[in-house]
Amino acid sequence: MNLSEKIQTRQAKIAVIGLGYVGLPLAVACSEAGFSVVGIDVNAKKVARINRGESVVQDIPDAQLAAVVADNRLQAFADYAHIPDVDVVIICVPTPLNKSGDPDVSYILAVGEVLRDNLKPDVLVVLESTTFPGTTEDLLAPMLEESGLKVGEDLFVAFSPERIDPGNARYHLQNVPKVVGGITPMCQSLAVAFYQTIIERVVPVSSPMAAEMTKLLENTFRSVNIALVNEMAIMCDKLGLNIWEIVDAAATKPYGYMKFVPGPGVGGHCIPVDPHYLSWKLKQVNYNARFIQLAGEINAEMPIYVVDKVVDALNADRKAVNGARILMLGVAYKPDIDDVRESPALDVLRLLELRGAELYYNDPFVPSLKMNGTLMTSLPLTPDVISSMDCVVVITAHSTYDWTSIAAAAKVIVDTRNAVTDTGASARIFRL
Ligand SMILES: NC(=O)c1ccc[n+]([C@@H]2O[C@H](COP(=O)([O-])OP(=O)(O)OC[C@H]3O[C@@H](n4cnc5c(N)ncnc54)[C@H](O)[C@@H]3O)[C@@H](O)[C@H]2O)c1
């Protein structure tokens, strides 16, 4: 049976490498589609939890994971022993920035080395990790070909960007169109056929590089538009205008405008990181990606702007930041999720700590938080706790927050999300 037939009949054995926010939902989806799946992660604790049916990502409930684990359709491993048996490999490892702000593709390269030494012929390898244009064709494929397999003949390689939006109840893996670019027509058709078994709409593009660039356009678009509206918020402040009124009014235009809202900065594994992959690549061809740089600067400076607002709020009460009791509401990078990676809350906390503030936080999704080696724990959100604070700073508007009772108990609120809209509240509110 050839690879195409194995995919069509669900007899292809799948390996998902990297079982995080991207890889675990994908592994579960493949298992539910009828494939036998091995999940591979270097984190042995994570592997043990998955094999006990305990989910490691919020979007996959324990019961959903436990069902595919109990059926032996998904098994997790902390080693690569099963790679020589698999027909399809999907790589979902991290692609962070290194200390100097350049792309760190070492996780992809580490996986590439293992695959090079272990793949069998007639195998499809798809990279899903967000990366700079050219990674799949110029870096990964040549490494895999060192095995003696030949791309387009007995090794099929493609890139398909992951678009998962953790915490999004409406759009999930299956109903978000999947862009796929294969190196050769055969790589393309096998990758498309594979994704069609788990995703409603697959969008083929001409090459892996086009697929890589598509993802970077999407995330750069978000970074630039968030930066634009963040700068608009600063401009409105200087002109004595309310940005939230203006954003809502502009959003009534039925065409040619897409609503973005300002905030305390950008967070997560994607928006603060991915555009730098693109600007780094452009530097190699002597081009300075100006929009990316400017957007990155504006978004990175928003926490400083928030701290200035806190200073203003305390100042109005004749208080200094030094020694002030400040409660941060929400430390996850966006509402209703537990992910604090690159969250602007961390920058705001660090900046306030440097100025001597006494810091506390509440986040129903993040019970504890490591800050400069110290473990902070989420405070219960009682009226007594709130009223004991000199200032409450709203960073993440989780849907579980009761803004009316928060505003009733607080003295002063710095609201970076326009969350506290109850004008009858006794607290004084400083908005972004
Ligand atoms: N999180 C998102 O919302 C999102 C959305 C779209 C794209 N992406 C991209 O997807 C990729 C993965 O992101 P994520 O959020 O799932 O990361 P994650 O950190 O949640 O998961 C990555 C997993 O890979 C494992 N890992 C690292 N090196 C490994 C190796 N050599 N072999 C096996 N496992 C290894 C880690 O232990 C971790 O469990 C990144 O490129 C990211 O930019 C993420």
pLDDT tens digits for 291-325? 999 999 999 999 999 999 999 999 999 999 999 99
pLDDT band, residue 101 (cuts 50/70/90): confident
Condensed to tens digits (0 to 9), the pLDDT of residues 327-360 reads 999 999 999 999 999 999 999 999 999 999 999 9
Per the rule left: phi > 0, alpha: psi between -120 and 50, beta: everything else, 372 is left
Domain boundary among 166, 183, 206: 206
| The token pair that represents 362 in the structure block | 């509440």
pLDDT band, residue 281 (cuts 50/70/90): very high
Condensed to tens digits (0 to 9), the pLDDT of residues 139-195 reads 999 999 999 999 999 999 999 999 998 888 899 999 999 999 999 999 999 999 999
Identify which of 93, 115, 173, 278 to mutate to test ligand 1's pocket (most ligand atoms within 8 A of the CB).
Answer: 93
Compute the distance from residue 45 Cα to the ligand 1 centre, in Å: 16
SS3 145: helix
Q: Which residue type occupies 105?
A: V
Per the rule left: phi > 0, alpha: psi between -120 and 50, beta: everything else, 154 is alpha
88 and 219 share one domain? no
pLDDT band, residue 36 (cuts 50/70/90): very high
Mean pLDDT across the chain: 96
**371 pLDDT above the threshold of 90:** no
320 and 387 share one domain? yes
Q: Which residue has the higher pLDDT, 169 or 382?
A: 382
Nearest 5°: phi and psi at 79? -135, 175
9 and 44 share one domain? yes
Condensed to tens digits (0 to 9), the pLDDT of residues 247-274 reads 999 999 999 999 999 999 999 989 999 9
Compute the distance from residue 95 Cα to the ligand 1 centre, in Å: 7
Decide whether any atom of ligand 1 lies within 6 Å of the 110 Cβ.
Answer: yes
Q: Which residue has the higher pLDDT, 165 or 127?
A: 127
Mean pLDDT of 121-143: 98
Q: Which domain holds residue 285?
A: 207-432
230 and 308 share one domain? yes
Decide whether any atom of ligand 1 lies within 6 Å of the 50 Cβ.
Answer: no
For the question of residue 92 being annotated catalytic, the response is no
Domain boundary among 191, 206, 221: 206
Compute the distance from residue 38 Cα to the ligand 1 centre, in Å: 16
378 and 426 share one domain? yes
330 and 388 share one domain? yes
Give me the pLDDT at residue 384, please. Answer: 97
DSSP assignment string, 88-111:
EEEE-----B-TTS-B--HHHHHH
Decide whether any atom of ligand 1 lies within 6 Å of the 411 Cβ.
Answer: no
Compute the distance from residue 129 Cα to the ligand 1 centre, in Å: 7
Give me the pLDDT at residue 169, please. Answer: 87
Give me the pLDDT at residue 427, please. Answer: 66
Domain boundary among 160, 181, 206: 206
Instruction: Tell me the C-alpha to C-alpha distance, in Å, between residue 31 and each of 24, 26, 200, 213.
Output: 11, 9, 16, 29
Which atom of ligand 1 has the smallest separation from the CA of 24? Answer: 16
Q: Which residue has the higher pLDDT, 423 or 256?
A: 256
Which atom of ligand 1 has the smallest separation from the CA of 46? Answer: 39
155 and 95 share one domain? yes
Task: Write the CB contacts of 214 (distance below 8 Å, at least 6 apart in sequence).
Answer: 161, 179, 205
Residue showing tokens 């030494």: 117
Which letter does DSSP use for residue 119 in this model?
A: P
Task: Write the CB contacts of 99 (distance below 8 Å, at least 6 apart in sequence).
Answer: none
Decide whether any atom of ligand 1 lies within 6 Å of the 92 Cβ.
Answer: yes
Give me the pLDDT at residue 84, please. Answer: 97
Which atom of ligand 1 has the smallest separation from the CA of 131? Answer: 41
Which pTM was predicted?
0.94
- 338: domain CATH number is 3.40.50.720
Q: Which residue type occupies 256?
A: G
**285 pLDDT above the threshold of 70:** yes
Which atom of ligand 1 has the smallest separation from the CA of 95? Answer: 41
Decide whether any atom of ligand 1 lies within 6 Å of the 58 Cβ.
Answer: no
22 and 171 share one domain? yes
Mean pLDDT of 370-375: 87
| The token pair that represents 169 in the structure block | 């109840």
377 and 363 share one domain? yes
254 and 270 share one domain? yes
Decide whether any atom of ligand 1 lies within 6 Å of the 420 Cβ.
Answer: no
**58 pLDDT above the threshold of 80:** yes
Compute the distance from residue 61 Cα to the ligand 1 centre, in Å: 19
Decide whether any atom of ligand 1 lies within 6 Å of the 109 Cβ.
Answer: no
Decide whether any atom of ligand 1 lies within 6 Å of the 90 Cβ.
Answer: no
The pLDDT > 90 percentage for the chain reads: 94
**422 pLDDT above the threshold of 70:** no
Candidates 395, 394, 397; CA nearest to 410 is: 394
**423 pLDDT above the threshold of 70:** no
The total domain count for the chain is 2
**373 pLDDT above the threshold of 90:** no
Identify which of 17, 21, 91 to mutate to test ligand 1's pocket (most ligand atoms within 8 A of the CB).
Answer: 21
413 and 267 share one domain? yes
Instruction: Tell me the C-alpha to C-alpha distance, in Å, between residue 313 and each of 114, 180, 413, 427.
Output: 55, 50, 8, 11
Mean pLDDT of 114-120: 97
Give me the pLDDT at residue 424, please. Answer: 64
96 and 222 share one domain? no
Give me the pLDDT at residue 99, please. Answer: 84
Give me the pLDDT at residue 372, please. Answer: 81
Compute the distance from residue 142 Cα to the ligand 1 centre, in Å: 22
Compute the distance from residue 165 Cα to the ligand 1 centre, in Å: 14
Decide whether any atom of ligand 1 lies within 6 Å of the 385 Cβ.
Answer: no
The residues facing 16 across adjacent strands are: 39, 90
Give me the pLDDT at residue 380, please. Answer: 96
Condensed to tens digits (0 to 9), the pLDDT of residues 403-413 reads 999 999 999 99
Which atom of ligand 1 has the smallest separation from the CA of 129? Answer: 41
- Given 30, 236, 270, 391, which residue is catalytic? 270
